[in-house]
Homo-oligomer: A and B are copies of this chain.
Amino acid sequence: MFTGLSAFPLTPVKQDGIDEVAFIRLVERLVIAGVDSIGVLGSTGNYAYLSRAERARAAQLAVDHAGTVPVIIGISALRTRDILTLAEDAQAAGAHGVLLAPMSYQALSEDEVYGLYETVSAHLSVPLCVYDNPGTTHFTFTDDLHGRIAALPKVASIKIPGVPETPVAAKERVKRLKAVIPPHVTVGVSGDAMAATGLNAGCDAWYSVIGGLFPATALAITRAAQAGEGIQAQRLSDQLRPLWELFSKHGGSLRVVASAAELLRLVDAPCLPLPLKALEDEDRRMLATVLDELTPS
């Protein structure tokens, strides 16, 4: 489950809940495309903005509509108590695995983060993916801490925030991390712009934002890398450079993929929870142009 392409769909929202019809549509597109797993309620899935009931509902809908594709469900929250409740909800919905970030309000110490994973992993009956995303959690893992957490029961994968740009440095980075974690724990790259480089450098998985909206495109990159055709994987990724530039310009991928989903009429606008706003005006027109070029009719 924690290898290949793990596609992270948006959770489109309405004022009074999630947009169930649109969410099911997004999940079903991933199943048809043949992704290796579906990651719901990650950052792209807006987990941090949803109520417990909304998260339980999204988890259930994803499992119900994923067919035989394994579903990984995000259980992150600020408080350990709430994470344990969300873990129970996810498992009750039929999660095949869970994803946990050290979300913070007060900055967390290394000791507090280790204690968090120790407590949660001891309560789980499904495997866990450690979600390392300093851009949103404001917590930076050391490799030593990754090693200690990866040795805990149930820990099966680490979602890393990215890899260095050059192939040699990327390979060195993945090798260094793999040296301190047990061999059964996989490493998955995120930060879509770095995914081809990460897969070519030995990452076992790609935890993918664009995979949640453009699964065929993300699969082509993943399968090329898995077949050892690294140059082709990189070439396909380079074709998406206009998208990577928009991600970079708009402080990450979320607002761009949400706007893309709106422009492609896969979700109703607005699909993001306020105060978050999708791209407007000139930025939105630029995205529409990029989408036109990337998805020839």
Q: Give the chain B neighbours of A136 by CB distance below 8 A.
A: 105-107
With A106-B251, A106-B254 given, is the CB distance from A79 to B274 under 8 Å?
yes
CB contacts under 8 Å to B, within A130-175, are 135-136, 138
A276 within 8 A of partner (CB):
yes
A135 to B106, CA, bound (A): 8
Q: Give the chain B neighbours of A254 by CB distance below 8 A.
A: 106
A273 to B111, CA, bound (A): 15
Binds B, one of A113-121, A227-235, A261-269: A113-121
Distance (Å) between the CB of A37 and the closest chain B CB?
23
A111 to B274, CA, bound (A): 12
Q: Is the CB of B275 within 8 A of A112?
A: yes
Chain B CB within 10 Å, residue with most, of A43, A115, A255, A275 = A275
Q: Give the chain B neighbours of A113 by CB distance below 8 A.
A: 275
A108 within 8 A of partner (CB):
yes
Q: Is the CB of B116 within 8 A of A274?
A: yes
A109 within 8 A of partner (CB):
yes
Q: Mask for A33-68, Cβ within 8 A of B = 1, else 0?
A: 000000000010000110000000000000000000
A111 to B112, CA, bound (A): 34
A252 within 8 A of partner (CB):
yes
Chain B CB within 10 Å, residue with most, of A109, A111, A135, A276 = A276
Q: Mask for A3-28, Cβ within 8 A of B = 1, else 0?
A: 00000000000010000000000000
Partner of A119 from B15, B255, B273, B274 at Cβ < 8 Å: B274
A252 to B112, CA, bound (A): 15
Starting from the known contacts A103-B105, A116-B275, 15 additional A-B residue pairs (CB-CB under 8 Å) come to A48-B106, A49-B78, A49-B79, A49-B105, A80-B274, A81-B274, A105-B136, A106-B136, A106-B252, A107-B251, A108-B275, A109-B277, A111-B277, A112-B276, A119-B274
Q: Mask for A245-286, Cβ within 8 A of B = 1, else 0?
A: 000000110110000000000000000011111000000000
* Residue of chain B at shortest CB distance from A114: B275
A144 to B276, CA, bound (A): 21
Q: Give the chain B neighbours of A277 by CB distance below 8 A.
A: 109, 111-112, 115
Q: Give the chain B neighbours of A276 by CB distance below 8 A.
A: 106, 108, 112
Chain B CB within 10 Å, residue with most, of A105, A113, A276, A277 = A105
* Residue of chain B at shortest CB distance from A112: B275
Distance (Å) between the CB of A192 and the closest chain B CB?
16
CB contacts under 8 Å to B, within A202-254, are 251-252, 254
Q: Give the chain B neighbours of A116 by CB distance below 8 A.
A: 274-275
